[in-house]
Amino acid sequence: MITQLGGSVSTVKSMMGSLMGAGQSISTEFFRDELAKNFLSDYAAEHFEIASYKALIATAEQIGEHECIPVLEEILSEEEAMARWLEERIPFAVRESLKKTSSAAS
């Protein structure tokens, strides 16, 4: 859909890569365990995707590409559900990371 509307998928991928790199460096600062880092990275990625789909929906509305909107809204709903799923499990990932850190220090 992006290319049909004259956009470039590579631009979106590039922005996503930059965001994920920043998120990875921040999460590495606080956690030395892959589980917690992965949850934080995935959670950040989901929110970037949510924002991207909201922007695509707004763009489709503005330029009159109404046939794209139901598909975009469906994908947006899936991204929001995944973000909620991850958010609910972040405390578990952190607790597991702390357990591993504590046991490694002992």
Q: Among 40, 33, 37, 28, which Cα is nearest to 97's? A: 33
In a domain, 20, yes or no: yes
State residue 34's pLDDT score: 85
In a domain, 4, yes or no: no
State residue 97's pLDDT score: 86
Q: Which residues contact 45 (CB under 8 A, 6 or more apart)?
A: 16, 19, 20, 23
In a domain, 95, yes or no: yes
In a domain, 3, yes or no: no
In a domain, 51, yes or no: yes
- The pTM (predicted TM-score) of the whole model is 0.71
Query: Domain tally for the chain?
Result: 1
In a domain, 15, yes or no: yes
State residue 33's pLDDT score: 77
Residues of the domain holding 87: 9-105
Question: Mean pLDDT throughout 79-84?
Answer: 98
Q: Among 8, 77, 2, 9, which Cα is nearest to 46's? A: 77
In a domain, 92, yes or no: yes
